[in-house]
Structures are given as C-alpha cells and as structure tokens.
Chain A
Amino acid sequence: MPDNIQFTNPEVAAKYEALTDYDHNVTRQLLYSGPLSKITPAMAAAMVKGKSNLIRERPATKTQAATEMPEAEKAMPLGGIKTPKDTKS
C-alpha cells in the first residue's frame, strides 16, 4: 500500500499529516492553488477547519506530552502528596 503524501513545507509537515496517497490539486480562493503536497500553513489550517478528508493535525505523541507537562505536575513530589488516609498503617 503506497504511503500517504509528504508535505514539502516544513511548518506544514511538522503540524499536519496527509490522509491520502494521491497528490490532489486543491484550491481555495485568495489562499492557495496547486498540489496538496505543497500547501502553505494557511491553506493547511483552512482545510482542517473546513473538515477536509485530505489532511489532519498530527496527534500529540507521548514524548510531546511528557515534555509539555503542566507546571503543577512538575512541582509534584514523586509518589504524590501523602494524605492522612495514606499514612494509616
């Protein structure tokens, strides 16, 4: 099975992934006209907003989730905060 197309714009490739292995010609008035693989970030965003079936935002990875840990969780001691109930023997 062929691979889905790759975006040539690095900003688009970092944030979005194609859902098709065919390099469709796409156009949006005043925004972009040309092959799907070469779409601009603005075009990619517009297509995702328009619920296109050719492109989607890349799902967040586990690595990304770990590096983006909320500040409150970073401050949490290992093992969590002990409550009186936890310390009962």
Chain B
Amino acid sequence: MAGRYKNRAKADQLNKDGGYKNVVLFHPVDDFNVLAKPTPSGTPASGESLEITDDHTFTGTGNGFYSYLCEQETVTIKGKTVDKQMEWEAEFTLLGDSSSTQEQMQDHLDDQNVWLLKDSDCKTTDTYVQLGDECKQPKVEVTFDGANQASGLKKYTVKLTAKNCKYWYKGTVTLHS
C-alpha cells in the first residue's frame, strides 16, 4: 500500500483538540435501507479508503439514528494494535437510571449497532467518526455506578470495542424521531 503515503505537515494536524461532542448516535446494523461504505476511486487519494461520502438511508416513518446525550467531556476514543490490526475503544457516560435506560443498556450487550461520534471541534469538522460497518460492529461493555447520597451522580459507562472498522462519515445523518 506504498501509494497511499503522503507528507504530513502542520496543515495536516486536523481535529487535534481532544475529545468528542457529548452526543453519540447509533442504529441497528440490520435496519438500514442502505448502509453506505467507502467507494475509493481508481487512484484513491490518501484517506479515501476510510471515507464514506454517500448517505446512510432508512425506510419507515421517523426512522434514523438514535441519539444519546452523554455526560460532558466523557466521550472519547482510544486505539491500540492487536494482531497487526487497529482495535478502537470508544467510551461515554450516561447520567441517571430508569427502567428504560437499564433495558436499553442490557439490550446493547447483545445487539449489533453502528455508532457515530462527532468531533469536539464540530464547528470546523465535516465528518463523524463511525464505528462499525455491515460486517463488523463494536462489542459493548456496560458498567454502572449508583454513587451515594454524599456525592456523585448515577452513571452508566459504555465501552465500545471495534476491531478494524473505524471510518469517517461525511454523509447526511437522519435522526430518529
């Protein structure tokens, strides 16, 4: 893949501010009308193999990406090498607890969803980070901390682990309503 290397200067230091917006989006992988994928050209530019420019589409009234409002400054992504592939780990925290929240958290443990995260510098970046594709979706781990009356808030912390399925989504996001 030598043809995809390019020089990297200060102008290429994009999206360098830490963190992601405190809203994460997701949708079950088997409920898309079209789950778009990268379509690199014959002589792809650097990065094209990971960019999705067509829209993810849905059918059905009000169907679209679900949205979770997270605790401020908790959404993050880390990556490491496992067996010569990148393994990405996203984490975010949801405040509060209820039967609906608990049920959704339990469902996530065994569901296959595609996730979108927005860079914290959302005024200048035109892409979402996407974890998951039609073949692979992140595994989910959930922890809960009920805190105590002296201090703290009840929190669900969700960890997504995705191997080799992180993309840059530039298409339209249709929201569930």
Contact = CB atoms under 8 A, between A and B. Distances in A.
Nearest to B62: A22
Interface residues of B, number: 27
Nearest to A46: B172
A30 B126 contact: yes
B57 A27 contact: no
Interface of B: 33-34, 36, 53-55, 57-59, 61-62, 64, 118, 122-128, 170-175, 177
A54 B36 CA distance: 15
Contact of A25 (B64, B118, B123, B128): B64
A50 B33 contact: no
Contact of A27 (B33, B36, B172): B172
A53 B174 CA distance: 11
B18 to A, nearest CB: 19
Contacts of B59: 53
A29 B174 contact: no
Contacts of A50: 36, 53-55, 171-172
Contact of B172 (A21, A22, A47): A47
Interface of A: 21-22, 24-31, 46-47, 50-54
Nearest to A36: B174
B61 A22 contact: yes
Contacts of B122: 29
Closest 4 CB pairs of A and B: A50-B55, A25-B175, A29-B126, A53-B57
Given A24-B62, A25-B64, A29-B118, A53 B173 contact: no
Contact of A51 (B54, B123, B124): B54
